[in-house]
């Protein structure tokens, strides 16, 4: 249990460092995110993830052929969700109240 906690904390720290240079670890294959792949960025306004950063990534021309939804909190957690189709991504985004950056 302690080992799992330490690995999660280390993973979170690595993600925070990589975020500073605009590179994210998304999967075990370490997909690099290029700015042109980021469709939208914003902050979640309400609910369980209030204050978390949200990014929508287009990887349709990449390794996965789909879309990622990434949720990041300050120093706590990073979650990524993969969607095969934009419709599935849009259905998930409907669950979030987001202030999108323009």
1-14 tens-digit pLDDT: 677 777 667 767 66
Q: H or E stretch including 2?
A: helix 2-20
Mean pLDDT per 10-residue segment, the chain (102 residues): 72 59 38 67 92 90 86 78 92 93 74
Are 95 and 36 within 8 A, CB to CB?
Answer: no
- What is residue 24's predicted lDDT score, i.e. its pLDDT? 42
Measured from the Cβ of residue 55, the count of other Cβ atoms closer than 10 Å reads 19
Res 60: pLDDT: 87
pTM passes above 0.75: no
pLDDT at 89: 93
pLDDT at 94: 92
């Amino acid at each position: 249990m302690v080992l799992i906690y330490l690995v999660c904390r280390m993973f979170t720290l690595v993600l925070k460092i990589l975020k500073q240079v605009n590179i994210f670890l998304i999967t075990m294959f370490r997909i690099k995110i290029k700015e042109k792949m980021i469709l939208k960025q914003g902050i979640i306004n309400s609910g369980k993830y209030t204050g978390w950063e949200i990014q929508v990534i287009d990887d349709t021309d990449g390794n996965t052929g789909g879309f990622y939804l990434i949720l990041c909190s300050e120093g706590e957690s990073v979650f990524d969700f993969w969607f095969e189709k934009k419709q599935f991504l849009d259905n998930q985004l409907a669950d979030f109240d987001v202030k999108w950056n323009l």
